[in-house]
């Protein structure tokens, strides 16, 4: 494993472990409330504004945050992928235009404004906010998939496969999957970061989960006024969000980068060392 991959794994492991196993570990924390923004009897991170242990709150606040982000990206990619592939594969110009012009309109809408409207109209429904975030992600996903798919569907290799006419669906699909898997996976990592950003922004603004929730973004917003007297109540959940977003993107870049470009980069680094 390369040093870069070690760094990515070290960044990504804490928020994932806390999000997946945190509620179990938090069961050992004291249930009674303590003094707000004071020392805690369970961890060295102190307490938050409600007298809850900061570490226990962080352990409980990641699972819902991560689950909502992942499901939002999967739903948005399911819709955007279908639209982008249909637009790229159709030989009819009018159908391509009919599919992509509404996508262009969505791209013009401020994403946070759409999320705020959905939150206000539904009184902060987490489902509505997730749908609004998904709607904001559909447009760039559809544009990206269309661009990636057009390069494949109109390539000389695909033309040769059409001329052969053997096992059309199997051979077309196999070639398309091989060519599109890497860019699609890399783009999915970027969209996951965008979903984390939108979800954290909505919760920070008080539009998402309940303000007494242990959600990481809610904790940052609720305790920000006590940054100087109880810094861990803000720095711990904020750091977990940053580590999650940065770790996912760095690991995706390392795993899904173009092998030829990575080989050239490694060769340049080796020549500099030599």
Cβ contact 223:61 at 8 Å? no
Q: How far is CA 191 from CA 8, 98, 122, 139, in A?
A: 18, 24, 24, 11
pLDDT at 113: 84
pLDDT at 176: 65
Residue 81 in tokens: 């992928």
Cβ contact 60:209 at 8 Å? no
Q: How far is CA 160 from CA 90, 155, 175, 177, 264, in A?
A: 18, 9, 12, 17, 31
CB neighbours of 80 closer than 8 A, spacing ≥ 6? Answer: 137, 138, 139, 140, 141, 142, 144, 145
For residue range 27-74, list pLDDT tens digits in order: 888 888 888 898 888 889 999 988 999 999 999 988 888 888 889 999
Mean pLDDT of 125-151: 86
pLDDT at 224: 86
Mean pLDDT of 157-169: 55
Give the rounded distance of the alpha carbon of 261 from its chain centre: 25
pLDDT at 272: 66
pLDDT over threshold 60, residue 76: yes
pLDDT over threshold 60, residue 159: no
Instruction: Name the least confident of 87-101, 142-156, 215-229.
Output: 142-156
pLDDT at 59: 92
Q: For residues 83 and 164, give the distance between their C-alpha atoms in angstroms, rounded to a whole number.
A: 28
Give the rounded distance of the alpha carbon of 89 from its chain centre: 27
pLDDT at 239: 93
Q: For residues 144 and 225, give the distance between their C-alpha atoms in angstroms, rounded to a whole number.
A: 40
pLDDT over threshold 60, residue 167: no
pLDDT over threshold 70, residue 106: yes
pLDDT at 62: 87
Does pTM top 0.85 for this prediction?
no
- Percent of the chain at pLDDT above 70? 81
Q: What is residue 53's DSSP assignment?
A: B
**3-state SS assignment for residue 215:** coil
Length of the chain: 274
CATH no. for 3-273:
1.10.3720.10
Q: What integer best gives the mean pLDDT of the chain?
A: 81
pLDDT over threshold 60, residue 86: yes
Mean pLDDT of 149-170: 59
pLDDT at 54: 92
pLDDT at 174: 61
pLDDT over threshold 70, residue 171: no
* HSE-up (13 A, CA, CB side) for residue 172: 14
* Higher pLDDT, residue 263 or 114: 114
* HSE-up (13 A, CA, CB side) for residue 100: 21
Cβ contact 214:61 at 8 Å? yes
- Percent of the chain at pLDDT above 90? 15
* 56: nearest Cα among 47, 67, 64: 47
């Amino acid at each position: 494993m390369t040093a870069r991959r070690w760094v990515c794994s070290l960044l990504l492991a804490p928020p994932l472990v806390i999000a997946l196993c945190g509620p179990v570990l938090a069961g050992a924390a004291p249930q009674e409330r303590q003094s707000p923004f004071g020392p805690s009897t369970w961890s060295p991170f102190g307490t938050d504004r409600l007298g809850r242990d900061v570490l226990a709150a962080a352990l409980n606040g990641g699972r819902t945050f991560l689950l909502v982000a992942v499901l939002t990206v999967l739903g948005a990619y399911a819709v955007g992928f279908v639209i982008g592939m249909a637009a790229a594969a159709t030989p009819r110009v009018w159908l391509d235009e009919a599919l992509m012009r509404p996508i262009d309109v969505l791209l013009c809408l401020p994403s946070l404004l759409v999320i705020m409207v959905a939150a206000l109209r539904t009184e902060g429904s987490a489902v509505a906010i997730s749908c609004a975030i998904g709607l904001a992600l559909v447009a760039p996903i559809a544009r990206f998939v269309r661009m990636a798919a057009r390069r494949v569907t109109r390539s000389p290799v695909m033309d040769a496969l059409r001329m052969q006419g053997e096992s059309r669906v199997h051979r077309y699909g196999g070639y398309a999957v091989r060519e599109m898997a890497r860019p699609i996976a890399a783009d999915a990592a970027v969209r996951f970061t965008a979903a984390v950003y939108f979800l954290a922004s909505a919760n920070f603004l008080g539009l998402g989960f309940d303000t007494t929730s242990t959600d990481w973004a809610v904790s940052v917003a609720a305790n920000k006024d006590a940054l100087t007297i109880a810094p861990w109540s803000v720095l711990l959940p904020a750091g977990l969000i940053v580590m999650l977003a940065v770790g996912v993107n760095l690991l995706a870049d390392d795993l899904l980068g173009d092998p030829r470009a990575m080989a050239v980069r490694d060769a340049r680094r080796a020549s500099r060392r030599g």
